Structure 1
């Protein structure tokens, strides 16, 4: 996030898109609801489903799946044509405005309505509301990123914020809501194939030399590694022979699970390090039991870039070890003496080699976290990014055209499927589905469908149906809901026995390599035995 969670309550207008905030980020959603209910903020929600947070919205815009670039360009068309943009900010802090202006000229509200289904007047009203705010904040989540145009979608939201000068002040910003705990911290620490910690490129000679000196080694590779979505196909083809998976359950969470299962079956060796036996761990040659968050010390970096201490509350069971101890022991057995005396010692090394974490120590975050960048011991941290300038100097506008989703509906597969989460289960259910009370609330998978579509396909609330795509079939219970809109169904992805990702497409964003989880074509039918 460019801003903080608390900052949301200082916004005059909040734009939420691609986020079922109430169910996926229930604590954070309370800041939005307080801002609207008690502080006069106005809320615009753009989502293909009538998600719960839309009940607080002054405007809910319902776009067709995978059309985000079009409606964002449409808002910018209105803002520019009606002279509502922040000319001073654009002139002093950005570049590329003319190319952006030329690109969005064709995205009139009427043209956008043809693509997105959003009524032209509603789009115009939303654009005026956002541009007219003293301070406007954008919140987004995986409904924006999990598309073949995910990177373009995020750039487009950045365009919108820069165009209106909504960066660098309280109540503004472009604020991604991370999908899992410490996703931000994992990326910060180099959990990506192209960077060391602090996003220092592995292709940088200076960064490589710095890390070699810190670790007392030579010959560190400057080659960019594989993304997850590149590893699995290479396992299928035999190019990748072994995988080591830590705290991830791809045999529920990855797209096109039948292909993933076949790929894992081709591996010579699989190691899984986790806190419970997962669907993926069942395939493993070696399972390494690790301690959970409550059984260890360390830090988490949350969605607002706040680095926070965690402290062990209980002892880990059985032979479970801290993740860092497991890593060190494997390194030692492979010939490198990776030895640390404590988590605090590791944090001290992080600060030495990571400029954005350079001033963060255990003592400084003993009671309250610090926002990176925090570069020196006396630096106060940076709750709000881009106050005076961008890291690159001027912010770059990106002129981005709309491209449709990779998969379209047709006569055989006439419905669109989108996937997501529910409040009472979490991710692949590794932890939550072992909790009796949560299973009482959300016991199994379902397909959310509009009443009009239920009538059209002759199905009733509560009955079992088959959902099929070009990749697979699952059987789920029907949930007729006013959240759904005709032509689109929703299935949560938590449930391995009816895994939504048996259906989803492996079409990838060309930059980030993220699958298009949020759009694929499906059909719905009675189970074979009932149809007979």
Structure 2
């Protein structure tokens, strides 16, 4: 009770003759802002503790000590205080500070890219400081500019030592690249050992640039515009599933930059991809701008009428001659919810089949299946903020967030700085391992065994939450009996880990009050991926860590709208909102809403459609924004399937490798050219807003789908994206309270069933969506392909920080390519020495599916006899050799385990 009173008690004071009451502990800066009073600051960052070093925020306290001037960012409001923020004494103090700053500052405002967007310049104008009065003697050293970063420049002579850059790098990004060096007038901000940025551990996130109040740190592209020439549009990042909010900077009809915004998921942070690779691809010269029809093996420009007439004729003919199930559609997890909804509606209404899928099939369908089965909802249970703020420990399994979800990774680094313990379960030494308490470096494909071993220890030590188990779950006895056999010694042998580390990790997780499980593709992309997800659910339920703050089972979704594409029904077994296609009442509901008879047959997944195409059972496919030749396993089989089709349509931004196989290519439009919504990994539906006009003859994607529907006999038209969202809300109970008017205030997390619902912050509070949580007794099964004498190395795949999936977006950003421009294979130094391979050597990697060439990255990030590759690069595309076997339940490929051989070239 005492704590509650302390938190809610208030103090009353007077600021500039206005009375204000604020919670106890509020700073004078915050109190003044509540009254709409602006106090200048140069060092203050609202996300961090006050620094008080710049002295620009001084205010006068009536009757105060030491002349009555205090820094507003550090001084707290007290009852009866009388404050003046713009008295003559305050003005004199601020003018003196500005005078001192100008004495050691390069004054070339007309040439500076921050001219008109510089806080120092603004304050000097506000306080009438035109030049420094300290004219005697040389004060400014001749520091050399650092132009080494591919994205930004650093001019130390424009730095005012506010330390914003170093504080945001250390305390928010968690990298600690920048610090003060030297003393006196030789003092400057610099990377460690006064090295250049390109020789430092800088990740090029640009967050230091975003907070710099002068032109000391500036984007290279800023030289092409000035602030007053531009407009800003708030939108959602098109890369990973974090859902960062950002402002697109527009000059004319061209995107010229990106700046971070204060979104729920990112709080003014961005990663290198969001900051520097989210805009150039939109205006790339190789964008598709017109419909193309392949004639005699060559693409020729066509009108929309010609292209749509041909599509209608071919798809209608296939349907009439071979049946509806000879058609299929692959939707786009990078496109908006609205586009995905209309696409699946097109496939179901006019194609007449449930053969519709999206790329969640090859990443997180195991999460959708596994969590829906055990908990009742296949989505992240807790928000990002909740699982990275004020938690005791984090169990990170098969996830590399500092590279795959960098802003979440930065927030995990922040949590570690504040005392959160972390256990990393991963076959590689990912970046977070150096800060971890335990690294369980399990062999790829052994997640189920690891989880069973954890549960064995928890039950043996009587650390389970018996009350939670009895009141809220079912199936416990079968689980208990099954895991009894998974002793730490047995699991250690399977996983290649130390049994004592397993015991310690289990006890840490069980005893922690707040401990989320965070996992990613290292759990799902296996032939036992769904079982791996269910094992995560088992583990959390065993200790009662679901439905609570700082806990839960939290899959980090891969692409920006993987969650949304699944929510919108771009799956062969679900209508929008995970309403099952084999339930008569559900079918009747959608038939009545859409006014057409619908198929009662469960459709095929993309990984089933392509083999069926190779066999001649599927004749026509419409691919929207996907590139399966690059992203799907066993590329040779994908090529054979596409070549065997009677008709292929691809709707894309660029001429991708898959588009090259199409009969008709339609120009799509990017996220920056449309209105709509994305749903991020934490179930948060957020706006995407149009910033520039589409290029060439490109049209709204959903309008193209409507044209196809209308030409195939089903009249369809929407006047706007928000009209589509209204239809979604009418048919999907969890979206019932979502509309664009409400989204203008910020995102909403589904379930949001009614117009007055605030959305759902944490899932399964009180009870599980399915009623009771279901324990699944899951024995460990080996991966489908393990090393042997011919292929002695176990290979896993994943992402890297600088590129995104097929590089369609990031590969059109010069700075990204400057840092990372070729494929590589991580190999343990012991194996490299045996094979006579050195760092950077070209090597051949072969599997039972084929062979590729790439470059060796030698070290200790992987164990001996194990290797790792990314899948971003056209040279050495690892999916030429990955295994197409899949999870029996979710039909997800086993990207994380296959057997390979390596030899020097």
User: What TM-score comes out, normalization by structure 2 length?
Assistant: 0.58
Q: Does 1:22 align with 2:366?
A: no
SS at 2:408 equivalent: helix
Shift of 1:308: 0.6
Q: Which of residues 609, 613, 625 is equivalent to 1:235?
A: 613
Moved more, 158-167 or 483-492: 483-492
Q: How does 1:49-198 map to 2 (within 5 A)?
A: 49-198=428-577
Cα separation, 2, equivalents of 1:75 and 1:407: 25
Question: Could you tell me which residue of structure 2 aligns to residue 32 of structure 1?
Answer: 412
Shift of 1:259: 1.1
Shift of 1:526: 2.2
Q: Does 1:467 align with 2:845?
A: yes
SS at 1:151 equivalent: helix
Question: Could you tell me which residue of structure 2 aligns to residue 430 of structure 1?
Answer: 808
Cα separation, 2, equivalents of 1:408 and 1:348: 50
Moved more, 299-308 or 427-436: 427-436
Question: Could you tell me which residue of structure 2 aligns to residue 417 of structure 1?
Answer: 795
Shift of 1:241: 0.9
Question: Could you tell me which residue of structure 2 aligns to residue 12 of structure 1?
Answer: 392
Q: Does 1:221 align with 2:580?
A: no
Residues 495-517 of structure 1, C-alpha deviations (whole Å, 9 max, x = no match): 12311011111111000001100
Question: Could you tell me which residue of structure 2 aligns to residue 530 of structure 1?
Answer: none
CA contact (8 A) 2:854 2:875 kept: no
Q: Which of residues 793, 805, 826 is equivalent to 1:448?
A: 826
Q: Does 1:498 align with 2:881?
A: no
Shift of 1:58: 1.0
SS at 1:475 equivalent: strand
Q: Which of residues 423, 426, 429 is equivalent to 1:47?
A: 426
Shift of 1:10: 2.6
Q: Does 1:308 align with 2:686?
A: yes
SS at 1:363 equivalent: helix
Question: Could you tell me which residue of structure 2 aligns to residue 523 of structure 1?
Answer: 901
Cα separation, 1, equivalents of 2:488 and 2:701: 52
Residues 414-453 of structure 1, C-alpha deviations (whole Å, 9 max, x = no match): 1011111111110011111121111111101011111111
Cα separation, 1, equivalents of 2:795 and 2:737: 46
CA contact (8 A) 1:253 1:428 kept: yes
Residues 112-145 of structure 1, C-alpha deviations (whole Å, 9 max, x = no match): 0110011100000000000010011011111100
Shift of 1:183: 0.3
Q: Does 1:206 align with 2:582?
A: no
Shift of 1:91: 0.8
CA contact (8 A) 1:10 1:170 kept: no
CA contact (8 A) 2:394 2:515 kept: yes
Moved more, 52-61 or 125-134: 52-61
Cα separation, 2, equivalents of 1:198 and 1:412: 47
CA contact (8 A) 1:413 1:522 kept: yes
SS at 2:766 equivalent: coil
Cα separation, 1, equivalents of 2:411 and 2:589: 41
Residues 368-421 of structure 1, C-alpha deviations (whole Å, 9 max, x = no match): 100000001111100100001012211110000000000011111110111111
Cα separation, 2, equivalents of 1:28 and 1:274: 29
Cα separation, 1, equivalents of 2:595 and 2:530: 37
- Backbone CA RMSD of aligned residues: 0.8
Cα separation, 2, equivalents of 1:32 and 1:434: 30
Question: Could you tell me which residue of structure 2 aligns to residue 271 of structure 1?
Answer: 649
Higher RCO structure (Cα 8 Å, ≥6 apart): 1
Q: Does 1:394 align with 2:775?
A: no
CA contact (8 A) 2:836 2:904 kept: no
Q: Could you say which structure has the larger radius of gyration?
A: 2
Residues 206-240 of structure 1, C-alpha deviations (whole Å, 9 max, x = no match): 111111121122x2112111001101100111111
Cα separation, 1, equivalents of 2:862 and 2:781: 24
Cα separation, 1, equivalents of 2:550 and 2:859: 34
Cα separation, 1, equivalents of 2:678 and 2:573: 22
Residues 46-72 of structure 1, C-alpha deviations (whole Å, 9 max, x = no match): 000001121221111100110000010
Moved more, 469-478 or 204-213: 204-213
Question: Could you tell me which residue of structure 2 aligns to residue 377 of structure 1?
Answer: 755
Residues 98-120 of structure 1, C-alpha deviations (whole Å, 9 max, x = no match): 10000000100000011001110
Residues 62-92 of structure 1, C-alpha deviations (whole Å, 9 max, x = no match): 0011000001000000000000011111110
Gaps of 5+ in 1: 528-532
SS at 2:678 equivalent: strand
Shift of 1:33: 1.0
Q: Does 1:261 align with 2:645?
A: no
Shift of 1:13: 1.2
Question: Could you tell me which residue of structure 2 aligns to residue 330 of structure 1?
Answer: 708
Cα separation, 2, equivalents of 1:456 and 1:123: 31
Cα separation, 1, equivalents of 2:654 and 2:699: 13
SS at 1:160 equivalent: helix
Question: Could you tell me which residue of structure 1 aligns to residue 856 of structure 2?
Answer: 478
Cα separation, 2, equivalents of 1:448 and 1:471: 20
CA contact (8 A) 2:835 2:904 kept: no
CA contact (8 A) 1:144 1:154 kept: yes
Residues 174-221 of structure 1, C-alpha deviations (whole Å, 9 max, x = no match): 00001111100000000110011100011111111111121122x211
Q: Which of residues 507, 512, 518 is equivalent to 2:890?
A: 512
CA contact (8 A) 2:825 2:869 kept: yes
Residues 325-369 of structure 1, C-alpha deviations (whole Å, 9 max, x = no match): 111111111111111111111010000000000000111111310
Alignment size in residue pairs: 525
Cα separation, 1, equivalents of 2:731 and 2:511: 43
Residues 268-319 of structure 1, C-alpha deviations (whole Å, 9 max, x = no match): 1111111111110111111111110111000111100001111101111011
Cα separation, 2, equivalents of 1:119 and 1:437: 42
User: What TM-score comes out, normalization by structure 1 length?
Assistant: 0.98
Question: Could you tell me which residue of structure 1 aligns to residue 115 of structure 2?
Answer: none
Shift of 1:481: 2.3
CA contact (8 A) 1:294 1:313 kept: yes
Cα separation, 2, equivalents of 1:178 and 1:309: 18
Cα separation, 2, equivalents of 1:508 and 1:431: 28
Cα separation, 2, equivalents of 1:350 and 1:290: 22
Gaps of 5+ in 2: 1-379
SS at 1:380 equivalent: coil
Q: Does 1:340 align with 2:340?
A: no
